[in-house]
Structure 1
């Protein structure tokens, strides 16, 4: 594997997801100059091998100086081990050492939480013009990243910014983590879908369009709610507005702690646009103490979509080489 030493300082970013592993060569300006992906195989050893093979293939034509790996899970403070990643069944898995050995050289390999990687991409290359940033990724769950005074907040054991499990309703809806009342139980794509399904099952007045879409496709999914909202369906628009208010409510607690200049909203649900963002702002204003007497953070959509994990992982790996701990 070729280690790059030129002025472009390219790095490899890898984003390991539950269904695919995507990787790209990223230059210092945040541009992906070559990209590839493969389906995520079953088993930790197979995932390590697939990750290394992608790196070897990409670096064969584009020399790089570091590899950054983004994973949806808890990452150790030394950025070597995935302590817990439920989607790919990693438990205290030393992925950096395993991949480094498969690359068969001294290539630096750094592991990051995927939301942190995406957040760093937005901070470093998203053009948001802020030194303090909160990013929320709204998808199946709620992920987060916090940048304070230009530094990514990882926490004492590398598990900082797990914002989806902030409790916002005492003894509320059950979360996938086993607790009740978590932020993501109310403010995620899963929550949006749950409320839509309930409306269809209860034959709620106004939910006729959602019922049509559900019957035509074997059940209601989040994409059907987004489709109905794009068509102007009032019930679907209301569901998105309600979801936005829950996002704003949870964000209010986070803003009270970290005081960001900007809140970046990413993830698949963010693409639904204005109705969601109107709800977010209203929820934040309603629940943020002193909202009318303090600078109010800007709420903006993420600049990068599915490539954010690749960009951020590469950038953070490059930074680790330049300024090792």
Structure 2
């Protein structure tokens, strides 16, 4: 299938630890990718973004840039109000970057970008009211209602990772305790392993020896690899994750009643370790269990690339709307 130069846009997924940029065609295929560590200051981050765009633009005839940003954006996506792991505060990021690079620049919340990618190219293609839960360092959530992004009244919905599931539970960076992401994210998974290692005889767990020798080696990816190999502590940690994810999805279903839930993010690629069990918990915990239609729950088809593919799609949608970046994206806020 041929690709027109008019189809090519750059998507950039800006996370707290890394920045990933890619040239993406109109079929959602990534043709060229770059990655960099996330700089600590706003000026350094902007220089990094400009450099990535310049390098990709030297090799490809791209039409626009889309940014997937882990933070709170205004409803028109014109302003990055706050990003807990980035330096921007009340910053007009798209307009300022557009002036620097000489291309239209469009911005979107990272979970919304992932949701759009799954809608157009992945697991959400047949959903009507779809929730995308991105399980990574934390939990991001994107809600598509009738194929349109739901943002709430002030542009910050839905922050489902910070729904409290255990009152006075683990402290969260948001200031509350017991948030869903403290039990179902990569960092929450590691915390569960640490608790299990402290509570039990762990002589048969390779994670015990590894964490004792190098505490920094204990990551969500390593726990997933250990669980796939049958490590008992890792398996128990994923069982705990499945329980809380099922309860979280049941709570979400009671509010939004989606017909499809897509599990994305870094842990979404390891869904075979926990998703069947999470489905069972969801089905038993949802209000009216046994007397209502349940959402289909599917793993991501795009993996960790959903954010960058979605950012490129945001840029493509903005161009197709034929209006200013912020105004074009605001049309999805209905």
- TM-score, length basis structure 2: 0.88
Matched-pair contact (CA < 8 Å) for 1:11–1:314: yes
Which residue in 2 is equivalent to 1:190? 187
2:111 is aligned to: 115
- Distance 1:47-1:168 versus aligned 2 partners, 3 A rule: same
> What RMSD over aligned residues (CA atoms) do the two structures have, in Å?
2.0
The alpha carbon displacement at 1:127 in A equals 4.3
Alignment partner, residue 171 of structure 1: 168
Instruction: Tell me the residue number matched to 2:156.
Output: 159
| Kept in 2: contact 1:48–1:98 (CA 8 A) | no
Could you list the structure 1 runs, at least 4 aligned residues long, displaced by more than 6 angstroms after superposition: none
Aligned length: 317
For 1:1-325, what aligned pairs fall within 5 Å after superposition? 8-103=6-101, 105=102, 107-128=103-124, 129-202=126-199, 204-205=200-201, 208-209=204-205, 210-218=207-215, 220-323=218-321, 324=328, 325=331
User: Is 2:228–2:273's contact at 8 Å kept on the other side of the alignment?
Assistant: no
Mean Cα displacement is larger for which, 214-223 or 138-147? 214-223
Residues 1:217 and 1:259: Cα distance change in structure 2 (over 3 Å) = same
SS in 1 for 2:140: strand
Q: 1:226 to 1:44 in 2, by over 3 A?
A: same
SS at match of 1:293: coil
**1:121 positional shift:** 0.6
Which residues of structure 1 form unaligned runs of 5+? 1-5
Unmatched tracts of structure 2, length 5 or more: 322-327
1:254-313 deviations in Å (ceiling 9; x for gaps)? 122222222111222233333311231122112211232222212111111222111101
Aligned residue in 2 for 1:3: none
Q: 1:32-66 CA distances to partner (integer Å, 9 max, x unpaired)?
A: 22222223223101111221221122123322232
Matched position secondary structure for 1:137: strand
| Contact preservation (8 Å) 2:170, 2:177 | yes
TM-score, scaled relative to structure 1: 0.90
Distance 1:319 1:238, change over 3 A: same
Please give the per-residue CA displacement for 1:232-275, whole angstroms capped at 9, x wherever unaligned: 13332122011111011111121222222221112222333333
